[in-house]
Amino acid sequence: MSLTESLNTHRLALCQALDEEDGERLDALLPELRSADIGEILEAILEEEADPPRALALLGRLRLERRASVLGYLPGDAQLVLAEALSDERLLAILEEMSSDERADLFNLLGEDRRQRLLRRMARREREELKRLASYEEGTAGSIMTADYVAIPSGMTVSQAMMRVRQTAPDAETVYQLYIVDGQGRLAGTLSLRQLMVAPPGEAIDELMIRDVIHVPVGEAQEEVARIVARYDLLALPVVDADTRLVGIVTHDDAMDVVESEATEDIHKGMSIGALEDGVSRVPLWSLYRKRVTWLVLLVFANLFSGAGIAYFEETIAAQVALVFFLPLLIGSGGNAGAQAATLMVRGMATGDVGIKDWGKLLGRELLVAGSLGLTMALAVAPIGVMRGGEAVALVVAMSMVIIVLFGSLLGMCLPFLLDRLGWDPATASAPLVTTLIDASGVLIYFGIATAVLSVA
Amino acid sequence: MSLTESLNTHRLALCQALDEEDGERLDALLPELRSADIGEILEAILEEEADPPRALALLGRLRLERRASVLGYLPGDAQLVLAEALSDERLLAILEEMSSDERADLFNLLGEDRRQRLLRRMARREREELKRLASYEEGTAGSIMTADYVAIPSGMTVSQAMMRVRQTAPDAETVYQLYIVDGQGRLAGTLSLRQLMVAPPGEAIDELMIRDVIHVPVGEAQEEVARIVARYDLLALPVVDADTRLVGIVTHDDAMDVVESEATEDIHKGMSIGALEDGVSRVPLWSLYRKRVTWLVLLVFANLFSGAGIAYFEETIAAQVALVFFLPLLIGSGGNAGAQAATLMVRGMATGDVGIKDWGKLLGRELLVAGSLGLTMALAVAPIGVMRGGEAVALVVAMSMVIIVLFGSLLGMCLPFLLDRLGWDPATASAPLVTTLIDASGVLIYFGIATAVLSVA
């Protein structure tokens, strides 16, 4: 049985037991399911029903520890619905069991009143840590780091450090990378558990540790954090404050989530859609509208230039109506080739594969590729030109195709670099923007060539 | 000094030392640099020079172990250039030090002759393992897994297992997740090193281990592998053969690379660009041309329908030439809105956020959002309609805008589901394809409405 099959079987059985309110069966099934999967089932239940009683019944069947980890897998809106249905006391118990980064995220979803009530019931140390973690700006290293790491005081021996690891093991998010801090809490070095395990017990940690630790400041952008984790194949990346004091770590799984969500954001940006705060099936409609409408309306006005271009060449069109037949084809092809070129650059820049220094080399490459593409497409369209309007029209259409595709591709390729140079996000060079710019230029190129060639002919 | 700054300083110093052939300085600098960074410098050197002598000189300065890990960070083409410049003996020494997955990847780049020569000089066990790992199809779990994992025979005690971990530590890719196998090598359970460390030394592993291990077959698609690693926050995912024998593990860092490269592939597909085998600045021009040209040419022919639509309404256009002015704007807007809707669905399906079961709900949402978008854009364009062609034209343009945007968005939204249903990749619903389809429909809708309204008026 494959993973997906066994998951589906379990899921069905669980839903059935829930429907029949068969408590015994639920208790037998739940330990067989993983937190991520229970989370998904909870999410589905919450989507189906406005009120969360069935979801709460399921949650209540879980051990407290499990309840916290399942909650951590839910998207924000589902977390909030459940949190609002729980008493302060029960929510507090769950919060205490959550990892520190998930706790801060959930806390930030609650209303101001509730937050104050919960804070008042916490121990001082917990309160301070939560307030600190909840205060970092969204999208920074601080907002995705956890405070549950293993810090070893400088000066310990290997066996002392090992003892510390064993003590911290139940609470830490990872025990496999240890961070050595000095008396002021500053990051002094790092050591993997693997290195610690094979070292002589009496040796000093300070002799063994790697002093040149890769780390980031707490305000570092999360996409840069993810890039560093990926580049150096890290299990976790330590985060420090302005005085290089260790304040948290970002673990590999959180970095992976960032890579995934940044990719989604980039894909949406490529179609001029602003960053959504949640998945497309859950984000509020009003928000979806706002994130899509801005560029759509701007581009309506940009498209007026294409219309103006057509109006300007009204006489040429009137003299040779067959020309209009090829207009969508020519500007469409230019737009497609240009959007391809822009997308290749924008993604290359996002992954670090392409830098501003590569511009010249890439321009030369694009010239060759786009030239060949234009020629190929001109050959494809020329026979149709002959059929519909004779040889003169075929010549105009073929020439226009080569020039529009070449111009469009070069424009699409250069725009991301230009935007980057001006301090804008290169991803602003979206397919809709590039296509619209090329449409307007394509009209001018096509009818310009037509006017020149056909008046000569 | 930030991470990037310190990197740049080191890089400059290293390049200078290379230029001056200052061996002593090189030996002082190299240990301060990380393998990933040396890899990047090597790559830059190889791109600048056709011949690799300077890169080889740098590589030669590294300890053998370092040489292997640096080589592992290079892209395929750079690996091949260096491998071809090395003698069999030196290449063999490096191969032996590489992790088993990187070894298999490099091996697969070499020519058949060289592979046979190298295999003949290997020990039997090594040879078998390499041949096995090199034989898995690209893009499967087998092609990205490593054979360097810690397997613990069923029946051991905690202290025996711990001993085994210490012995395997130098060679294994991760020692933090242990896999328990039975006498036939079948995957029987798993245990984290953390659990092992806090367990009583005399306890039997079989009592402690988790029996329900998440695992995948060796032929599983790599994007599914990455999705499972991300979903369950795994350090590593075990891979089994048809008899559920453990044959390898995919580690979190390799899964992260898959997420990144799959995102790039999806972004390119969104613009009808086929999967590139390397970064856009390195992929051969011929390949770049081929991956872009297919759909561009297909869409040239699809665009003929738009032209045919225009030709069909020639009389309407002749009667009211002002209509052509609004054509690019209307079909452009429909195309943009439709491409947005398609992109939202395709990405949602790729991340697992959207499934075929959500179709009805999403259709309702899109109806509301696209309707509002169409109305907004109609309001934006109506005054221009009045100015250029009077109230009748404004009415036609505004009505067309609402209908084209609504139709385009619904088409864009439904197409990925339809393709998925037909067993195609939903990502085939690329922006260029969706835009082209909407262009043709937009022409018909616009001039159809114009003919109806203007003949009545």
Q: What is the pLDDT of residues A390-412, one digit of tens each?
A: 899 999 999 999 999 999 999 99
Query: CB contact, 8 Å: A275 with chain B?
Result: no
**Strand positions, DSSP E, A162-245:** 177-181, 187-192, 216-217, 236-240
Chain B partners within 8 Å of A260 (Cβ): 230, 259, 263, 351
Contact A354 B281 (CB under 8 A): yes
Interface membership of B256 toward A (CB under 8 Å):
yes
The partner residues of A179 in beta bridges, in order of sequence, read A151, A190
Per-domain residue ranges of chain B: 3-135, 151-251, 285-456
pLDDT number for residue A173? 84
CA distances from residue A232 to A47, A235, B36 in whole angstroms, order as listed: 39, 9, 6
Collapsing DSSP to helix, strand or coil, A456 comes out as helix
Instruction: Verify whether the Cβ–Cβ distance A253 to B233 is below 8 Å.
Output: yes
Gap between the Cα atoms of A217 and A226, Å rounded: 13
Mutation target among A286, A347, A393 for the B interface, most CBs of B within 10 A: A347
Segments in chain B below pLDDT 50: 457
Specify burial of residue B2 (Cβ count, 10 A radius: 0-12, 13-18, 19+). Answer: exposed
Q: State which residue of chain A sits closest to B260, comparing Cα positions.
A: A259
| 3-state class percentages of chain A: helix first, strand second, coil last, to nearest 5 | 70, 10, 25
Secondary structure of chain B: what % helix, strand, coil (to 5)? 70, 10, 25
Question: Do residue A373 and residue B231 have CB atoms under 8 angstroms apart?
Answer: no
State the best of B228, B295, B329, B384 to mutate against chain A, taking most chain A CBs within 10 Å: B329
Q: Does B289 touch chain A (CB under 8 A)?
A: yes
Sign for the CA dihedral angle at B101, B106, B112, B113 comes to: negative
- Quote the pLDDT of residue B1: 53
Closest CA to B15 of B35, B37, B5, B3: B37
Predicted local confidence at residue B337, as pLDDT: 96
Q: What is the pLDDT of residue A14?
A: 83
Residue among B32, B329, B339 minimizing CB distance to A432: B339
- 8 Å CB contact of B256 and A255: yes
Q: Is the pLDDT score of A457 beyond 70?
A: no
CA distance B380 to B23: 69
Among B234, B356, B143, B350, smallest CA distance to A3 is for: B234
To the question of domain A151-250 being in CATH 3.30.420.40, the answer is no
Whether residue A447 is predicted with pLDDT greater than 60 in this model: the reply is: yes
Q: Reduced to 3 states, what is the DSSP secondary structure of residue A265?
A: helix
**Which residue of B216, B307, B333 is in closest CB contact with A325?**
B307
Residue-wise pLDDT for A164-189, tens only, equals 998 887 778 888 999 999 999 999 99
Q: Are B432 and A380 an interchain contact pair (Cβ–Cβ within 8 Å)?
A: no
Between the two ends of chain B, the Cα-to-Cα distance in Å is 73
pLDDT reported for residue B8:
75
The CATH architecture assigned to B285-456 reads: Orthogonal Bundle (1.10)
Rounded to whole angstroms, the Cα distance separating A91 from A96 reads: 9
- Chain B residues near residue A212 by CB distance under 8 angstroms: 32
Q: Do B293 and A351 touch (CB under 8 A)?
A: no
pTM of the prediction?
A: 0.87
Structure tokens at B66: 């370092």
Residues of A in contact with B198 (CB under 8 A): 166, 169-170
CA distance B201 to chain A (A): 14
pLDDT digits (tens, 9 = 90+) for A201-234: 999 999 999 998 999 999 999 999 999 999 999 9
CATH of range B151-251; options 3.40.50.10210, 3.40.50.10860, 3.10.580.10, 3.40.1190.20 = 3.10.580.10
The band of A455, judged by pLDDT with boundaries at 50, 70 and 90, is confident
CB pairs under 8 A between A and B: 322
Which residues, other chains included, contact A146 with Cβ-Cβ below 8 Å and sequence gap of 6+?
Answer: A99, A100, A101, A173, A248, A249, A250, A251, A254
Which of A288, A335, A344 is opposite residue B280, by nearest beta carbon? A344
Q: Are residues A259 and B264, on separate chains, in Cβ contact within 8 Å?
A: no
Asked if B387 is an interface residue toward chain A (Cβ–Cβ < 8 A), one would say no
CB-CB contact of A235 with A177 (8 Å)? yes
d(CA A41, CA A38): 5
Question: Which tens digits make up the pLDDT trace of B101-158?
Answer: 899 999 999 999 999 999 999 989 889 989 999 999 989 999 999 999 999 999 999 9
Who's near B329: CB < 8 A, 6+ residues apart?
A: A300, A303, A304, A306, A307, B381
User: Which contiguous run of DSSP H or E holds residue B189?
Assistant: strand B187-192
* pLDDT at residue A357 greater than cutoff 90: no
Cβ distance of A373 and B256 shorter than 8 Å? no
Q: What pLDDT, on the 0 to 100 scale, is given for residue A378?
A: 96
Burial class (CB in 10 A: 0-12, 13-18, 19+), A46: buried
Per-residue pLDDT tens digits for A268-325: 999 999 988 888 888 889 999 999 999 999 999 999 999 899 889 888 887 887 888 8
Q: What is the pLDDT of residue A456?
A: 56
The pLDDT value given to residue B46: 84
Q: What percentage of chain A exceeds 90 in pLDDT?
A: 66
Q: What is the DSSP letter of B32?
A: G
Q: What residues of chain B, 113 to 172, have a C-beta less than 8 Å from chain A?
A: 165-166, 169-170
SS3 call for B11: helix
DSSP string, B348-391: HHHTTS--GGGHHHHHHHHHHHHHHHHHHHHHHHHHHHHHHHHH
Helices B322-350, B359-421: crossing angle, 10 deg rounding:
90
Tell me how far apart the alpha carbons of residues B381 and B445 are, in angstroms, rounded to a whole number.
17
CATH topology of domain A3-135: MgtE N-terminal fold (1.25.60)
- Please give, rounded to a whole number of angstroms, the shortest distance from the CA of B424 to a CA of chain A: 20
* A120-136 residue pLDDT tens: 999 998 899 899 999 99
Closest residue to B348, CB basis, from A215, A281, A300: A281
Strand partners of residue B151:
B179
Q: Which residues of A touch B435 (CB under 8 A)?
A: 332, 335-336, 435
Do A362 and A413 touch, CB atoms closer than 8 A? yes
**Cβ–Cβ below 8 Å for B325 and A307:** yes
pLDDT at A449 over 70: yes
- Give pLDDT, residue B282: 82
Block residue for tokens 């009583």 = B200
Supply the ipTM of this predicted assembly.
0.86
Q: What is the mean pLDDT of chain A?
A: 90
User: Which helix H or strand E contains B251, and what residues bound it?
Assistant: strand B246-251
Q: Are strands B187-192 and B177-181 parallel, antiparallel or unpaired?
A: antiparallel
